[in-house]
Amino acid sequence: MAKVNLEVDLNGLKLQNPVTTASGTFGFGPEYYQYVDLNRLGGVMVKGTTLNPKQGNATPRIAETPSGMLNAIGLQNPGVDHFLKKILPEIRDYKFETIVNISGNEVEDYAKLASKLNVEGVGALEINISCPNVKKGGLAFGTQPEMAASVVQAVRVETDLPLITKLSPNVADITEIARAVEEAGTDVISLINTLLGMKIDINSQKPILANKMGGLSGPAIKPVAIRMVYQVAQAVQVPLIGMGGISNADDAIEFFLAGASAISVGTANFVNPEVTMEILDGIEEYLVEKGYRDINDIIGKAIEKKNNIV
Amino acid sequence: MAKVNLEVDLNGLKLQNPVTTASGTFGFGPEYYQYVDLNRLGGVMVKGTTLNPKQGNATPRIAETPSGMLNAIGLQNPGVDHFLKKILPEIRDYKFETIVNISGNEVEDYAKLASKLNVEGVGALEINISCPNVKKGGLAFGTQPEMAASVVQAVRVETDLPLITKLSPNVADITEIARAVEEAGTDVISLINTLLGMKIDINSQKPILANKMGGLSGPAIKPVAIRMVYQVAQAVQVPLIGMGGISNADDAIEFFLAGASAISVGTANFVNPEVTMEILDGIEEYLVEKGYRDINDIIGKAIEKKNNIV
Amino acid sequence: MSQRVIKEILSQEEIAPKHFKMVIDAPEIVEGAKPGQFLHLKWVDNIGGDPLLRRPISINDMDKDSGELSIIYRVLGRGTELLSRLSKGDKVDIMGPIGKGFSIPKEARKVVVVGGGMGIAPLYPIVKELLNKDREITLFLGGADEGQLLNLKDYEEMDLELKTSTVDGSHGYKGFVTDLLEEALDGADYIYTCGPEGMMEVVQEKAKKLGVKGEASLEERMGCGTGACLSCVCKIKVGTKDDWEYKKTCTQGPIFPVEEVIFNG
Amino acid sequence: MSQRVIKEILSQEEIAPKHFKMVIDAPEIVEGAKPGQFLHLKWVDNIGGDPLLRRPISINDMDKDSGELSIIYRVLGRGTELLSRLSKGDKVDIMGPIGKGFSIPKEARKVVVVGGGMGIAPLYPIVKELLNKDREITLFLGGADEGQLLNLKDYEEMDLELKTSTVDGSHGYKGFVTDLLEEALDGADYIYTCGPEGMMEVVQEKAKKLGVKGEASLEERMGCGTGACLSCVCKIKVGTKDDWEYKKTCTQGPIFPVEEVIFNG
Ligand SMILES: Cc1cc2nc3c(=O)[nH]c(=O)nc-3n(C[C@H](O)[C@H](O)[C@H](O)COP(=O)(O)OP(=O)(O)OC[C@H]3O[C@@H](n4cnc5c(N)ncnc54)[C@H](O)[C@@H]3O)c2cc1C
Ligand SMILES: Cc1cc2nc3c(=O)[nH]c(=O)nc-3n(C[C@H](O)[C@H](O)[C@H](O)COP(=O)(O)OP(=O)(O)OC[C@H]3O[C@@H](n4cnc5c(N)ncnc54)[C@H](O)[C@@H]3O)c2cc1C
Ligand SMILES: Cc1cc2nc3c(=O)[nH]c(=O)nc-3n(C[C@H](O)[C@H](O)[C@H](O)COP(=O)(O)O)c2cc1C
Ligand SMILES: Cc1cc2nc3c(=O)[nH]c(=O)nc-3n(C[C@H](O)[C@H](O)[C@H](O)COP(=O)(O)O)c2cc1C
Ligand code: FES
Ligand code: FES
């Protein structure tokens, strides 16, 4: 099946196909080698990386909710130096683009991370201004346009790598933040990160997560994610990577139609470890069935062109 | 089973029990007479009412999503005069409190509605500043503290009825709005209204809803609702009515523990028309099993008291 | 009077590709049910789960003596796919019977009944009732192929004029059911129809031309099935001129005067 | 090597109130599986639905010749409740085998095995293996009542010293399994344990006191089962002093050196 073109060019970041895996849900890639042909993935957003190693939150770190889950991992990660020395060499030869998801407490953290990651083998940086689990800074960056912009600018001056900025859905108007990070120089916008949520155990009468609140992901949030992609696609020029609840090819196609040029699969990897391969096949089938020759032909198709609106 | 007290007093609004039905999901009450003993309900929030009759949106008006649904009814309703003349007389003798959910495009609309509804038989007003489907005003009121406050103030001067203000979840910081409407004089806060969402039909490549976007409700949004009730309960003094995805007694109890003094059941009425009765029984059972004699004893139990936090 | 009951499936059978017939033991429902009414169903395994909402399905047949009723449905999406996996002994959660049902006006001596595709399913009870009341019936059934002509065998044994059409020509006339209509309508007093909107629009047009009144059964996406949520509205003409109002397909329908429906509204 | 396969249920049986035993035909899984490993399961009907996540369940028994494996589980919440409704011919979606499994050090000649409640389930394969390797075994089983002493009949026919205890006294000693432990530990070389945290903590303490090393099987809420999501971590001591690090229960466990686990961390 090489009948259709699946390659996408996200403002300079070329992916062999638009199927990537969402940060924090796919480890660094090799965790899934038994289930997935890693060389067939378009990109892997690795686990959120910080300057120093982080232990993360106490357990329980996850809870199940209707068609979704809450997580409060708390950015457990071995730190950027370990990543560069030990992990990058193991994954750099795969055909997927390695996209490093970076998180910090202060603007300078992001800048330092960007400068350290300016090395071969890293395909792009994804700036996580939206992780709701870090008490200091994390959420604030993602909910205030000026702060979001300042992070992007600080990273921009440190690197020529393609920059993806990942938006938080916990805002009143996501297009405002999108425009701010576009102006600040991001090449791509990815969305959405998790919705802030909580679950209480009615027997113990306490929150289930040790961290009390956590990020809601999975099919439950897909309608919110689709709406936001649809809104942001009409508000900015930069290409989008859509995510939030994608569990099969139909879901992925919904995101393309809403305006995403690529997609990330998160929680669904836990449900079905082979899901990315099935999504890839399913996208191809859909295009063939509908008579398209290029994935790029369906991006944003559900958006009514302005001049068509009465 | 009269072993436990279920009566709650919401800052002057007394309900025989804390189980109410959410606006727009239970008609005016009698729609459910075949399934529910209406006299056992604590309150019925009637369908969103406007000054003039409204036709609402084109169809399709609903779409199903994972553990949830989208709606864009567009506030179809017969208008306040019809409500007062034809509907109120039919429902005023039931034992539930009739709570009129009011919506407007401008501040004066709310004031006029409040003055017209200042009649016997109306138990309280619920100010809907959060309906995401009305293009003009609706969303803005609910996402900006000053505008929310101005609506509440305008209603407050027109009526002595208990005032409930219903908050939108489509904001970055719900406590900010909550504090604003508390200061403006609301007696009670209800939350949450629907999350703005969207679904696309991949065959037609168009949004399913005629209105394109709609409000997401049902179990999918429960974790977001619980989180917001938990946050607002710690930010304000006024009592809360919690809602969002409540489908059974366990869900209802989760809301009480998070800090709600009463709950509203919405989408679940569609799934199981008898659900309110089952929830009422289940709450009583839980209290008896756990050895409580009063529903008020579990309200906010999952909130760690400040002085307990290390 | 509608109610909610949880009932046992007596049998389930694939009667044509992707078309299933399910028989349910539900005397309480059957007791008060009228032709044209429907059920709002949930399979017990999915209570509170996914898919979330109920599914409206018409009553295809019922037996007041045994208390059994049957439905016929086509597997379309996830809900009906899961329904099709159930079998004898499994349970379904039923709200019903819902809706106003068909009426049989006295003057309707010579009637035409037109069903297309899945729209054939809700017509069987009204055809039986019309026969009981000694009306003269011309019945048109249209489908993609013979398998889609639901209840065909039953109709063949009835005292009525049966005209079939299939798109692939596997039974009866090759083409659309509406192609055959005009002749039969001439002289008819009343018409009943259910099927795809496009089909019913043509039926409406032809009936109007010949001044024949009648009833159409509509489909809309449903939430509550009680008249509370206003999701299922359809446009129905009121007064003269072009005025219309939204009526609820669930409790004010699903049967409406065919001449008053605004299709594709 | 783990893999994902969709497999048929050969039988399902309620062996005690709320306790079920399920036999699955899964030669690919059995082939490489070791005692102490587990499966990450999803019932096919709920793919993409609700409940969303897989459920980790230990392998209770397996037969390399027939390719059959069995699991024993207790109905706890919605997931296991739905699992219990399946029967012969239904399918389950399996990821597995997962985890490192138990080891059998050469010097472990005289071993003590302690299982409590559902924690008895994963111990059966290692007990069989230990017997194969001619080790001398004292096996402690504890539960609320006799029904909870899983595999009891099988163990009674084995060449090992069996000590049971139940909280209600319906079988063996009336009290906690750990009450009986000290004597047996004296002189033992190695211990294997699985059960409630509170129980394992006592086991750890007593083993430490007598200088007996061993292995414990842990439980944590799991997302991926591949080591990717970091939801299942537990605190494991490193170095000397009080240092510890989070290790993944799924791929770095679920078996850890009993002396290194920090319980209730
Ligand atoms: C009054 C009435 C009577 C009906 N009688 C029958 C019948 O006898 N036999 C039969 O096969 N079908 C009948 N239908 C259509 C049937 O309800 C749909 O085919 C079914 O809901 C599809 O569910 P799904 O999960 O398979 O599809 P999905 O597409 O997955 O459903 C998604 C959502 O859309 C709704 N939906 C999808 N298609 C329709 C439709 N055509 N009409 C209304 N809602 C829809 C579903 O109820 C659900 O909420 C009837 C519909 C109505 C309104
Ligand atoms: C490695 C391992 C092996 C296990 N082996 C067995 C076994 O052989 N037999 C058996 O009966 N049980 C076993 N368990 C526990 C079993 O996974 C839980 O009882 C089960 O997940 C409960 O699911 P539920 O839907 O019924 O409960 P719910 O409470 O509805 O589950 C909600 C969520 O919490 C998680 N969860 C709840 N309880 C536990 C628990 N004790 N451990 C881990 N996650 C939990 C679920 O997986 C799910 O994600 C094992 C757990 C682990 C980690
Ligand atoms: C367990 C878990 C860990 C996550 N960790 C991160 C992270 O480190 N950085 C980040 O930007 N997003 C993180 N996310 C968010 C996902 O990348 C993704 O944006 C979100 O889960 C929505 O997609 P989904 O519904 O497909 O999971 C995490 C999500 C989960 C479930
Ligand atoms: C069909 C439908 C119509 C609704 N109409 C209104 C309305 O008129 N006014 C209002 O304040 N909320 C309205 N809502 C929101 C509900 O009252 C409730 O806040 C929301 O659905 C969350 O609760 P749930 O998840 O239990 O449904 C509507 C919801 C639905 C599903
Ligand atoms: S389905 Fe709710 S009003 Fe008809
Ligand atoms: S379950 Fe995901 S790392 Fe163990």
The preferred substitution site among D250, D255, D256 for testing ligand 6, maximizing ligand atoms within 8 Å of CB, is D250
| Residues D81, D26 share a domain | yes
Residue D205 — φ and ψ, nearest 5°? -60, -45
**Domains of chain B: which residue ranges?**
8-308
On the question of a cis peptide bond just before residue D191, with omega within 30 degrees of 0, the verdict is no
Residue with tokens 């992070």: A151
| Residues D72, D116 share a domain | no
The answer on pLDDT for C151 being more than 50 is yes
- Average model confidence (pLDDT) across chain B: 93
pLDDT at position A227: 98
Neighboring chain D residues of A61 at a CB cutoff of 8 Å: 221, 230-231, 233
Tokens of C130: 């019309």
Number of folded domains in chain C? 2
The verdict on residue C253 lying in a domain is no
pLDDT at position A2: 54
> What is the distance in angstroms between the CA of the first residue and the CA of the last residue of chain A?
41
pLDDT at position A3: 82
On the question of a cis peptide bond just before residue B192, with omega within 30 degrees of 0, the verdict is yes
Establish if D77 touches chain B: CB-CB under 8 angstroms: no
Q: Average pLDDT, stretch B49-69?
A: 96
d(CA A299, CA A141): 29
On the question of a cis peptide bond just before residue B66, with omega within 30 degrees of 0, the verdict is no
| Grouped pLDDT means (10 residues each) for chain A, 310 residues | 87 97 97 97 97 95 96 95 96 96 92 96 93 48 87 95 96 95 97 97 97 96 98 98 97 98 98 97 97 97 68
The answer on pLDDT for B135 being more than 50 is no
Q: Where are the alpha helices (DSSP H) in C91-193?
A: 124-132, 152-156, 181-185
d(CA B136, CA C190): 47
* Contact (CB, 8 A) for A245 and D49: no
d(CA D3, CA C256): 56
Q: Average pLDDT, stretch B162-170?
A: 96
* Contact (CB, 8 A) for C230 and C199: no
Q: Would the CB atoms of B67 and D50 count as touching at under 8 Å?
A: yes
* Contact (CB, 8 A) for B268 and B247: yes
* Contact (CB, 8 A) for B60 and B210: yes
Tokens of A192: 């959405």
Q: Average pLDDT, stretch D150-165?
A: 90
Which ligand 6 atom sits nearest the alpha carbon of residue D222? 1
d(CA A116, CA A102): 11
Q: Would the CB atoms of C224 and B67 count as touching at under 8 Å?
A: no
Q: Would the CB atoms of B202 and A258 count as touching at under 8 Å?
A: no
Beta-sheet strands, E only, within chain B: 8-10, 13-15, 19-21, 43-49, 62-65, 68-71, 97-102, 124-128, 163-166, 188-191, 195-198, 200-201, 206-207, 213-217, 240-243, 262-265
Tokens of B106: 């401008």
d(CA C75, CA C81): 5
Q: Return the residue whose CA atom lies nearest to atom 3 of ligand 5.
A: C227
Q: Could you tell me how far CA B156 lies from the centroid of its own chain? A: 19
- Average model confidence (pLDDT) across chain D: 92
| Residues D65, D27 share a domain | yes
Global pTM reads: 0.96
How far off is chain A from B115, nearest CA to CA, in Å? 31
| Residues D121, D193 share a domain | yes
pLDDT tens across C205-242, in order? 999 998 999 999 999 999 999 999 999 999 999 987 78
Residue with tokens 């969709």: D6
- Number of A–C residue contacts, CB under 8 Å: 5
* Contact (CB, 8 A) for C261 and C234: yes
Residue by residue, DSSP assigns D16-81 as: ETTEEEEEEE-HHHHHH--TT-EEEEEEGGGTTSSS-S-EEEE--EEETTTTEEEEEEE--SHHHH
The answer on pLDDT for B2 being more than 60 is no
Residue by residue, DSSP assigns B52-94 as: S-B--PPSP-EEEETTEEEE-----B--HHHIIIIIHHHHTTS
Report the relative pairing of strands D136-143 and D110-116 from DSSP bridges.
parallel
Choose from B201, B202, B256 for mutation: most chain A CBs within 10 A.
Answer: B202
On the question of a cis peptide bond just before residue C254, with omega within 30 degrees of 0, the verdict is yes
Domain boundary among C78, C98, C118: C98
The verdict on residue D105 lying in a domain is no
* Contact (CB, 8 A) for A69 and A217: yes
Q: How much distance in Å is there from the Cα of C228 to the middle of ligand 5?
A: 6
The verdict on residue D103 lying in a domain is no
Catalytic residues of A: 131
| Residues D150, D201 share a domain | yes
d(CA C187, CA C136): 12
Residues 6+ apart with CB under 8 A from B121: B88, B89, B91, B92, B98
pLDDT tens across A44-77, in order? 999 999 999 999 999 999 999 999 999 999 999 9
Choose from D46, D81, D83 for mutation: most chain C CBs within 10 A.
Answer: D46
Establish if D48 touches chain B: CB-CB under 8 angstroms: yes
What residues make up the domain containing C203?
110-218
Q: How much distance in Å is there from the Cα of C133 to the middle of ligand 1?
A: 31
> What is the distance in angstroms between the CA of the first residue and the CA of the last residue of chain B?
41
Instruction: Residue A186: count other Cβ atoms within 10 Å of its Cβ.
Output: 29
Q: Average pLDDT, stretch B188-195?
A: 97
Q: Return the residue whose CA atom lies nearest to atom 15 of ligand 3.
A: A193
Q: Average pLDDT, stretch D232-249?
A: 92
> If pLDDT is split at 50, 70 and 90, which confidence band does D80 have?
very high
- Maximum distance among all Cα pairs of chain A, rounded to whole angstroms: 58
pLDDT at position C43: 84
Tokens of B20: 């109410």
How far off is chain B from A164, nearest CA to CA, in Å? 22
Q: Is C92 exposed, middle or buried (0-12, 13-18, 19+ CB in 10 A)?
A: buried
Q: Is A199 exposed, middle or buried (0-12, 13-18, 19+ CB in 10 A)?
A: buried
> If pLDDT is split at 50, 70 and 90, which confidence band does D265 have?
low
Q: Where are the alpha helices (DSSP H) in chain A?
A: 80-82, 88-91, 107-116, 138-143, 145-156, 174-183, 222-233, 249-258, 268-271, 275-290
Q: Which residue of A has its CA nearest to D48?
A: A247
| Residues C44, C91 share a domain | yes
Domain containing residue D123: CATH number: 3.40.50.80
pLDDT at position B138: 45
pLDDT at position A105: 87
Q: Average pLDDT, stretch D18-28?
A: 96
d(CA A266, CA D228): 11
Residues 6+ apart with CB under 8 A from C97: C2, C29, C32, C33, C34, C37, C38, C39, C59
Tokens of C169: 């020509």
pLDDT at position A144: 86
How far off is chain D from C46, nearest CA to CA, in Å? 8
Q: How much distance in Å is there from the Cα of A56 to the middle of ligand 3?
A: 15
D250 Cβ inside 6 Å of ligand 6 = yes
Catalytic residues of B: 131
pLDDT tens across B240-249, in order? 999 999 999 9
Residues 6+ apart with CB under 8 A from D206: D178, D181, D182, D185
Which segment of A43-47, C127-131, D11-15, D145-149 scores lowest on mean pLDDT? D145-149
Q: Which three-class secondary structure state does DSSP give residue D193?
A: strand
Q: How much distance in Å is there from the Cα of B21 to the middle of ligand 4?
A: 9
Element (H, E) at A48: strand A43-49
Sign of CA dihedral A67, A73, A75, A78: negative
User: Nearest to residue D145, comparing CAs of D119, D173, D122, D109?
Assistant: D173
d(CA C225, CA B273): 9
Domain containing residue C16: CATH number: 2.40.30.10
d(CA A169, CA A189): 13
Q: Is D152 exposed, middle or buried (0-12, 13-18, 19+ CB in 10 A)?
A: middle
As a 3-state breakdown, chain A gives helix, strand, coil percent values, each rounded to 5, of 35, 20, 45
> If pLDDT is split at 50, 70 and 90, which confidence band does C178 have?
confident
Share of chain B above pLDDT 70, in %: 94
d(CA A131, CA A195): 10
Q: Which three-class secondary structure state does DSSP give residue C232?
A: coil
CATH of domain B8-308: 3.20.20.70
pLDDT tens across C28-79, in order? 999 999 999 999 999 866 555 778 999 999 999 999 999 999 999 999 998 9
The answer on pLDDT for B136 being more than 60 is no
The preferred substitution site among A19, A20, A25 for testing ligand 3, maximizing ligand atoms within 8 Å of CB, is A25
The verdict on residue D141 lying in a domain is yes
* Contact (CB, 8 A) for C143 and C123: no
Establish if B215 touches chain A: CB-CB under 8 angstroms: no
Q: Average pLDDT, stretch C89-103?
A: 95
Per-residue DSSP letter, C252: T
Q: Which amino acid is at C177?
A: V
> If pLDDT is split at 50, 70 and 90, which confidence band does B133 have?
very low
pLDDT tens across B22-48, in order? 999 999 999 999 999 999 999 999 999
Per-residue DSSP letter, C212: -
Tokens of C61: 């047949």
> If pLDDT is split at 50, 70 and 90, which confidence band does B144 have?
confident
For Cα atoms D41, D42, D44, give the angle at the middle one, nearest 5 degrees: 140
Sign of CA dihedral D12, D16, D19, D23: negative
The verdict on residue D262 lying in a domain is no
Element (H, E) at C114: strand C110-116
On the question of a cis peptide bond just before residue A60, with omega within 30 degrees of 0, the verdict is yes
| Residues C139, C52 share a domain | no
pLDDT at position D48: 54
The answer on pLDDT for D240 being more than 90 is no
* B199-203, C148-152, D160-164 — most confident range: B199-203
The answer on pLDDT for D49 being more than 80 is no
pLDDT at position A139: 54
Q: How much distance in Å is there from the Cα of A27 to the middle of ligand 6?
A: 10
> If pLDDT is split at 50, 70 and 90, which confidence band does D264 have?
confident
Ligand sitting nearest the alpha carbon of A165: 3
